[in-house]
C-alpha cells in the first residue's frame, strides 16, 4: 500500500491537513503521511477518511487531550528510531489542538522536529474577513460561561490588533453579544464553512451580527474576526484646557503649548493663543 513512499528519517513531523476541502492536502503533507512509520492522530476515523482519499493506509495511534499525558513518553521514546507524524482532525496541529508538549518534549529529548505547514482556519478566516491583518491576536475558543467569557474579552479590549476567535454555531450569537458588550462598536466578520461548499463571510458590526444570528444559529464551523479598536476620539476643548492649565503651573505659555500639542495631537499655535488667555 505504501511501498513506493520514500523512508523518512526519524523524528516528529507536524502535518497540517485540510479544514474541509481535501484538495488542500499539500503534496509534501501527503508524502510525509505516506512515509511516516506511525501517525499520532486525534481521531483515527477522521484521519482514516483522509488516508482513503489519497489511497493509503498507515498505522495510527490516538493522541488527544484525554490520553496525551499517558502516551507521550512512549511516543518520545519511539522518535529515536521512527518517523511519527502528528495529525489533528483538521487544520494545523497545535492550533486549538493538542501537540505543543509533544513538540517541546521531542526537542528536549534531542529528536528532530519538522513542520509541514498548510491549512489553518484562523489564517484562512483572516484572508476572507477584509479586516486589517498587520497585527492579529488569536484567542482560540473563549470560555463558554458568561462571566469568564466577559473577563476574557475585557482582558483584550484595549489590544490594538484584529481578534480571531473560534466558536460553535449554537454559541455564536451569545459570543457576538458578549463581544459587542465588551468591545463596543467594532466591525467584524463571521466566516463559516471555509473551503467547503457553503463557505461564507458575513460582515457587519458586532451588534448587528449578534442580532442577525440571535434566532437562527448557523450550522457548520465558524471563525469570528473582529477589527481592532478605532482611533481614540480627538481631545476635546475641555481636555486641552485641563492639560494647558496643569502645564502652565510648570512651564511658560510657549512650552506648555508645545508639550500639550505633542501629547494630545492638537495644533500648537492654537494652544499657545489659548495658553495666553488662560494665563490672564
Ligand atoms: N487546528 C485547527 C486549525 O488549524 O484551524 C482548529 C481546530 S479547532 C479544535 C476547531 C475549530 O476551528 C472549529 O470549531 C472552528 O471554529 C474552526 N474551524 C475548523 N475548520 C473550519 C472551517 N472549515 N471553517 C470555519 N472554521 C473552521
Average pLDDT over residues 12-35: 97
The whole-number pLDDT of residue 265 equals 76
Ligand 1, residue 92: give the atom nearest the CA. Answer: 4
Residues 49-56, mean pLDDT to the nearest whole number: 94
Tens digit of each residue's pLDDT (9 = 90 or more) over 55-78: 999 999 999 999 999 999 999 999
Among protein residues, the one with the nearest Cα to ligand 1's atom 11 is: 166
166 Cα to the center of ligand 1, angstroms: 7
Local structure of 170: helix, strand or coil = helix
Pocket test residue of 90, 118, 136, 198 for ligand 1, highest count of atoms within 8 A of CB: 90
pLDDT (mean) for 269-275: 93
Confidence bin at 213 (pLDDT 50/70/90): very high
Question: Model's pTM, two decimal places?
Answer: 0.84
pLDDT of residue 263: 76
User: Mind listing the pLDDT tens digit for each residue in 122-171?
Assistant: 999 999 999 999 999 999 999 999 999 999 999 999 999 999 999 999 99
In the chain, the percentage of residues whose pLDDT exceeds 90 is: 87
Ligand 1 midpoint to CA 120 (Å): 7
Pair 247, 256: CB distance under 8 Å? yes
Ligand 1 atom having least distance to the Cα of 16? 4
Taking only the tens place, the pLDDT of each residue in 231-251 is: 656 678 888 898 899 899 999
Distance CA 275, CA 230 (A): 30
Q: Residue 24 in contact with residue 95, Cβ under 8 Å?
A: no
Pocket, ligand 1, Cβ cutoff 6 A: 19-20, 88, 90-92, 95-97, 120-122, 166-168, 191-196, 221-223
Assign 278 to helix, strand or coil: helix
Q: Which atom of ligand 1 is nearest to the CA of 141?
A: 16
Reported as a pLDDT band with limits 50, 70 and 90, residue 260 is confident
Lay out the sheet containing 113-116: strands in order across. 60-62, 38-41, 83-87, 11-15, 113-116
Amino acid at each position: 500500500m505504501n511501498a513506493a513512499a520514500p523512508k523518512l528519517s526519524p523524528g516528529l513531523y507536524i502535518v497540517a491537513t485540510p479544514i474541509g476541502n481535501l484538495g488542500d492536502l499539500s503534496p509534501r503533507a501527503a508524502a510525509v503521511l505516506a512515509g511516516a512509520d506511525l501517525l499520532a492522530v486525534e481521531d483515527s476515523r477522521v484521519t482514516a477518511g483522509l488516508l482513503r482519499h489519497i489511497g493509503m493506509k498507515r498505522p495510527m495511534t490516538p493522541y488527544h487531550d484525554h490520553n496525551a499525558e499517558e502516551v507521550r513518553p512512549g511516543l518520545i521514546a519511539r522518535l529515536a528510531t521512527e518517523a511519527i507524524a502528528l495529525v489533528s482532525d483538521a487544520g494545523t496541529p497545535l492550533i486549538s489542538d493538542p501537540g505543543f508538549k509533544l513538540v517541546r518534549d521531542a526537542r528536549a529529548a534531542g529528536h528532530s522536529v519538522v513542520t509541514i505547514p498548510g491549512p489553518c482556519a484562523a489564517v484562512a478566516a483572516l484572508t476572507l474577513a477584509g479586516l486589517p491583518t498587520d497585527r492579529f491576536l488569536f484567542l482560540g475558543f473563549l470560555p463558554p460561561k458568561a462571566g469568564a467569557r466577559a473577563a476574557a474579552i475585557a482582558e483584550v479590549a484595549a489590544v490594538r490588533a484584529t481578534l480571531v476567535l473560534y466558536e460553535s454555531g449554537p454559541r455564536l450569537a451569545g459570543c457576538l453579544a458578549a463581544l459587542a458588550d465588551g468591545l463596543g462598536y467594532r466591525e467584524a466578520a463571521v466566516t463559516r464553512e471555509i473551503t467547503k461548499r457553503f463557505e461564507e463571510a458575513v460582515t457587519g458590526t458586532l451588534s448587528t451580527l449578534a442580532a442577525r444570528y440571535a434566532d437562527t444559529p448557523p450550522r457548520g464551523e465558524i471563525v469570528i474576526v473582529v477589527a481592532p479598536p478605532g482611533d481614540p476620539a480627538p481631545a476635546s476643548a475641555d481636555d486641552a484646557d485641563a492639560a494647558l492649565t496643569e502645564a502652565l503651573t510648570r512651564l511658560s505659555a510657549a512650552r506648555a503649548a508645545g508639550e500639550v500639542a505633542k501629547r494630545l495631537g492638537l495644533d500648537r499655535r492654537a494652544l499657545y493663543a489659548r495658553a495666553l488667555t488662560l494665563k490672564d
